[in-house]
Structure 1
Amino acid sequence: MSVKWLARAVPQTSGLYPYVPGKPVETLLREKGLTRAIKLASNENPYGPSPKAVAAIGAAAAGVHRYPDGDANALKEKLAKIHNVDRDRLLLGNGSNEVLELLIRTFAGNGDEVVFSSRAFIVYALAAQAAGATPVAVPEADGLSHDLEAMAAAVNSKTKVVCIANPNNPTGTLHDNSAIQTFLDRLPRDVLVIIDEAYYEFVADRLGDSVQDLAHPGLVISRTFSKAYGLAGCRIGYAVADAVIVGLVNRFREPFNLNLLGQVAAVAALDDRDWVMARVADNNSERARLESALEAEGLLGGRCFGNFVLLKHSNCPEILRRLEDRGIIPRPLAPYGMADYLRISVGSAAENGEFLHALNEIIAALQE
């Protein structure tokens, strides 16, 4: 007799599904019989990590037979100095994804609600469901940007957590900190408010210092080393919050959740800020190039403030197929209810040029 394992699992399992990342290069090569491909699907840094980070990884590699520092002391000290906060206000995780999941798991459960924008990072919904809480997705007024008024109105006595991605992934929109503070002022003091700033470095000059400028008792600002710092494979993320909040979340955090090589790479990358910000400037320049080209062809889906752009076309599934046939991997946004959009990560100048050339030929063929 077979066992009905779903019936044995916790109730929220039936509504869960695994997070689907951007298609790996190896998968496309196998599917299409190709020998090379360009991945523009996961908002990775095409320039790689800082040379100092690479050197630090090499120097530390021989020590991987030992457990890492379970409290990541060197990284905490560095981040505390950068943000001018006490180290006990820092929560570290295996990517900011784990940080987000830990926060929601700690503060939301059965009968509670987690409020977020319907076209924000899909992990908010997954984490809420996994915790047994009720996800509350608030539609965007313009289809792309968080409707802060509507989100504030959605908060009630059951709301335990509110999530805002700024800049937003996958739509790329941005709210300035004055708008965020006005939103925070409308919320109850005992609600946890996560401002997910995974793409902060790309708008740092425009946004300002969120850690110091924003105020709310339940404020949590999360960041990652996966985007601007080029350390996606190391999985390092963190958040700044009230020390009591961090202490409670640490009760759920797994031991040694930050690997040794990731810790040393992150510390070294923070010591090479000039290199990182130069790559941010390269990204922003290339993003402007891509958006200008898309706009000229009537394909721009909206202005973005991260390391990606939006392509909008009524036949995106066919464009996706033909791009993949040419070894170019974009990110379809149908899972977000945006079937007529593709998200295109900003690649290197050469990669972006190859994408634009392929896109022009595909659009021309579709118009024949």
Structure 2
Amino acid sequence: MPRIRTVLLVTGAALLAKRAMRRRIDASPLWPLPALEEPVSGRPRSRALRLLVTRHETVADGVVQLRLEGDHLPAWEPGAHLDLVLPSGLVRQYSLCGDPEDTSSYTVATRLIGEEQGGRGGSREVHEQLQEGTEVEVRGPRNRFPLADADAYVFVAGGIGITPILPMLRAVEARGHEWRLLYGGRSRASMPFLEDVEKLAGTTAGRLTVVAEDEGGRPDLAAFLADLAPSTAVHVCGPEGLMEAVAATLPEGADLHLERFTPHTSVDGNASFEVELRRSGRTLSVAADTTVLSAVRAELPNTAYSCEQGFCGTCQQRVLEGEIDHRDELLTDAERADSMLICVSRASGGRIVLDM
């Protein structure tokens, strides 16, 4: 199996074997997140910035790019993302796809995701309400999908997954490293920044493979990843099916870095358990098909939460007793010693005690 450094929650019995592998974590640019509240416990949030939308333009079918301007903005490196607090209060996370050297602006892009595709309104707000002249609150940047230190690079991007990959391409090209990219999408018209990557690839043979499904079907990953050198770092961002296909295709020991769009939600292998809320004097039952967060909010409806997917850290709570089955990949080892994200993590035994 390849060594995986992933940036998203992995749950479900089918993937438990991957837990022993080394992983790198972060939030995807496309996760639909509900309203963010201030955390009751857990890590301090990144300081908020108020930035001005100075450009709102369509860069592909269904994809808009925003330029957010401010003064002396915090530095970032390829793979980083921002939290955008939208006019409704919804929070969405988007990868930075501009120039890290530009301290006067951030650039993000997002695809419109309709309700029929599982969207919950955030991308529509970005498309329709964050017009030029709008002020928006952002938090970050943060980076848990960093560009690895390697002699050579292979990148695989699916659709809007090109956003964190684009600054990586620019960086490795500037450093003179060998690289190649497989970029897939439904159609060429739906693939943002296609011209940018074509210019970066230039005339070097084999650097860029573009696969539009309406023209040539699905990409041949086996052919693209054949003869991978041991010193090559593989960075992938795209839909879950693409993640799994790349992981299954790579040879033993490959250095794989993932940023996923959606979490695994399987409840296979889950067991019910009890949660004691020590300060509240209540004991709750958590069924196999529900979460600690859901059970807690039934008793304490003001409990802070945001993503419900283990990405943002808002629902982090201190654990006083019991063994934790950590199913997020956001917390550090030190944080995992005495806390958990109650939206996804569970008790590995029959009982756990929270400082709530």
Q: TM class, shorter-chain normalised?
A: under 0.3
| More strand as a share of residues | 2
Q: Give the TM-score of the pair, scaled to structure 1.
A: 0.26
Q: Give the TM-score of the pair, scaled to structure 2.
A: 0.27
| More helix as a share of residues | 1
